[in-house]
Amino acid sequence: MVGIVMGSDSDLGIMKAAMETLDKFGIEYDVTIISAHRMPDVFYDWASHAEEKYDVIIAGAGGAAHLPGMAAAITPVPVIGVPIYTKSLGGVDSLYSIVQMPSGIPVATVAINGAKNAAVLAAKIISVKDPSMRQKVKDFAKGLKDGVMEKKSKIENIGWKAYLDDMNK
C-alpha cells in the first residue's frame, strides 16, 4: 500500500501520473491533500500513523516543499519526494527543499514533476519482499526497452526525415 500526499490540489495534475502508474502495477494506494504549513496538526497525525498502513509514501510538494521531508522526519516508512514545478523558480526551489535533507532523514527524490518515476521507485521498493511485484518491475523495464527498440528499427528503416514526418502527423 502506498500513501500519496500532496500539499495542494494544484499538484494533482502532476501527481496523477503516480496514481496511473501504480494502477498499472496493481499497487493499492490512498490519495490525500494535506498542507504541512496550513494544517500541521493534521499532517503530523497522518504521518505519525503512516507505518500502520503504508509500505511507501509518495509526497508531492512545490515551493518551500517541506511535506516530503517532514513526512520522513516523522515516519520510518520510506518517502519519495516529487518536486513540483513552480512558476517563480521552475521547480528548482521545490527540488532543493526536498533533496537537501539533513543527515539521517533521507528522502528519495525524483525529477521535477517526476511522479511517474516516484511510482516506479515505489514498485521497486515493494518488490524487495514481493516476488510477483519484482516480476512486474522486470516486465515494465522490458516494455520500455521494447518501445525504444521499435523506434530504433523504424528510424533505421525509413530514415530520420520520414520518422519526423510521422511524428508530426
Opening angle at CA 112, ends 126 and 7, nearest 5: 75
Cell of 53: 498502513
Quick one: pLDDT at residue 40?
94
Cell of 95: 527540488
Report the mean per-residue pLDDT for the chain. 96
The per-residue pLDDT for range 22-70, each reduced to its tens digit, is 999 999 999 999 998 899 999 999 999 999 999 999 999 998 889 999 9
CATH 3.40.50.1970, applies to 2-129: yes
Quick one: pLDDT at residue 90?
93
Q: Which of 25, 104, 41, 119 is nearest to 69 (CA)?
A: 104
pTM: 0.93
Q: Are 53 and 3 in contact (CB under 8 A)?
A: yes
Within the chain, strands assigned E span 2-6, 29-33, 56-62, 79-84, 108-109
Give the Cα separation of 136 and 119 in Å (integer): 13
The per-residue pLDDT for range 154-164, each reduced to its tens digit, is 999 999 999 99
Average pLDDT over residues 77-90: 95
Q: Are 168 and 160 in contact (CB under 8 A)?
A: no
Better-predicted residue by pLDDT, 169 or 105: 105
Quick one: pLDDT at residue 17?
98
The per-residue pLDDT for range 97-153, each reduced to its tens digit, is 999 999 999 999 999 999 999 999 999 999 999 999 999 999 999 999 999 999 999
